[in-house]
Each structure stands twice: as C-alpha cells, then as structure tokens.
Amino acid sequence: MAFATPDQYAEMLDRAKAGGFAYPAFNVSSSQTINAVLQGLQEAGSDGILQVTTGGADYFAGHTIKNRAVGALAMADYVKRVAQSYDITVAVHTDHCPKDALDSFLLPILAASEEQFQATGAPIFHSHMWDGSAVPLDENIEIAKGLLPRTKNIGSILEIEVGVVGGEEDGVAHEGSNDALYTTVADVAQAVEALGLGENGRYISALTFGNVHGVYKPGGVKLRPELLGEIQEGIAAQFGTGPKPLDLVFHGGSGSTDEEIATAVANGVIKMNIDTDTQYAFTRAVAGYMLSNYDGVLKVDGEVGNKKQYDPRAWGKVAETAMAARVVEATKQLGSAGKSQR
C-alpha cells in the first residue's frame, strides 16, 4: 500500500535516523504538483512526504472560496487515492500553522482525523505542524503541550518549531534580529521539559540555525548546521539520553550547499521541507513551453492556434516532469533515493 499506515510512517522516520538519511517533504498546491512529486519519488525509488500549508489548502478548496480545512482534507484524499498506483510509500502532513490559523486549519483537520480514527483506526494526516515561532516560547510550548496528546491518541506525529525561520512562507513572515534565527540549547530544554522525549507522544522539531524561507543564493545566508549537533549533545547530557535524542526537521533550505545539507542530516535531520525549488522548476517549464510554442498556444493574427499545444495536459505534463526531476535531485541530496520500503 503506497499510502503509509501510522506504523509505516513511524518506521520511515526511524529508518532515516538509523540510516543517516532524511526524507524530502514537498509542499503541494494542486493535483498537478501532487502528480509531479509522486512521479519524482517513483523515479528515484524513494519514499517521501507531501505537505500542504494554509495557503496551499486555500487553493485546493478553490481560490475564491478559501476553505482551508476542506482543501487540506481534499488534498489528503487525492494523495491516498492516486498513490495506490505507485511503488513507493508516502505520507501526508499539514505544514506551518500559525496561531491565527489554528481555528481555521489545524484544529478542524485534527477533529476530522479523530473522527476517522474512531471509525477506521487510522488518522487522515500522518503529522501536523504547529508553528509557534511567532509567539513567545512559553506560549509556543503550552499550545504544543495541548496538541501532543491529541496527535498521540490518533497515531499522528506533531511537528513543532523552536526558534524563528526567517523570510516568508505562504503569508507567514518572520523578521527580527539575527540572534533569533539560531535556536539555543536552553530553548530546546524548555520544550523537552514540557513535552518529554517521546513518552508523551512523538514529535519532531524544526530548530533554526540561520534558515530563511524563500530564495537565496549559496552563501547568501549564514547557516550553522553544526549547531544542531551541539544542541543534540546538550540535550543528551542534560536529560541522560543516548546520542541524538531529537528528531529534527530542516526548514528554509533553498540554496543550501550539499555540505550544509549533509551536516544537518548527520546531526539528526530526518525531514527536509522543499517548496521554492520545486515551484520554480514547475513554472520555469511552463514559461519555456509557452515561449517555444507561442504560435500554437495563442490565436495570433486571426489564426486558430494549435489545440494540441494549448491543451493544459500538454504543458502540464512538461511542467510535472520538470518538477519531478527536481524531486529526484532532492532525494539524492538527502540520501533517500533507492531506499523505499516497498
């Protein structure tokens, strides 16, 4: 079955950590981008994660309606159905839910998942992100503490963010001092004191080490992935655990070097979010197609154009294949290529 069970998703994350690799998590906003991700994962022989933000969910529901909870649930239903034809295992995740979107996004989706779990024994989404990076740390952790039992009870995993990822993602923007872009051991210790280390429910942590959402060239942002190792060591020493007690997520990775990615993965990153690069791959292919087939996609000088060229399926397949190629590249960077459990 290509759509992971809760146990299979947990096994995916465990395999990544034990094997020293990470899974790519791709933001999607349409059936075309879902198909592109599945195509790329299949070609790479990699399992993976498809995720949706509040803005992406708004778009799934219809850009004039913007019922984000409905859009997210439709996304999960679509992935579950079409993934059955692929020889890889995939999971679905709700991404970046800030405080002001809890009531319109995460909480109604979680309630629907609880209802489905009662009926079938499986949640709708495999994991959910609470993005408390814009509120004080105490409040961030308190909200996470309230969500964790609910995700635990349905076999889902909670993702939290401790620190601030700079830049902007789907309307969620963070500005501030450079110091705020680097999580400290004390910040994480406060979260662990409240949430535990898995005994109260599994969670994965997006710690910040200079990350910025959006577009930047290599060297344009000062990443310190070695900080993740220092935090892992600090938490292990403080709480008396084995090495790398935290399951980590890498946000804002566009433009990162292979070395930076490898260092982050070596320090416990098991999930890396990818959005900007795949957006560009998709749209660049559309632009190239339209420029190359100008006379066919437009009715120029009274001509009729070429229906086979302006058929959305024609340029859609080109865009999906280009985006799929970027998906394959990501799986190779993270080491998940060829490691599908199917």
Q: Provide the annotated binding site for Zn(2+).
A: 96, 131, 161, 213, 251
Chain centroid to CA 205? 12
Q: Is 316 helix (H, G, I), strand (E, B) or coil?
A: helix
Choice among 7, 47, 58, 95 that is catalytic: 95
Could you give the C-alpha distances from 237 to 190, 194, 200, 230, in angstroms and in order?
14, 17, 20, 11
Question: What gap in Å lies between CA 42 and CA 325, rounded to an integer?
Answer: 11
- Yes or no: say if 51 and 34 are a contact pair by the CB < 8 Å rule: no
Could you give the C-alpha distances from 46 to 21, 81, 109, 173, 206, in angstroms and in order?
11, 19, 27, 31, 22
**Would residue 170 show up in a list of annotated catalytic residues for this protein?**
no
> Token pair for residue 121?
């024994």
- Yes or no: say if 203 and 159 are a contact pair by the CB < 8 Å rule: yes
- CB burial of 301-340 (b: ≥16 within 10 Å; e: otherwise) equals eeeeeeeebeeeebbbbbbbbbbbbbbbbbbebbbbbebb
Instruction: Report which secondary-structure segment, H or E, holds 90.
Output: strand 90-97
Annotated binding-site residue numbers: 96, 131, 161, 213-214, 251-254, 273-276
Annotated binding-site residue numbers for dihydroxyacetone phosphate: 214, 252-254, 273-276
Active site residues: 95
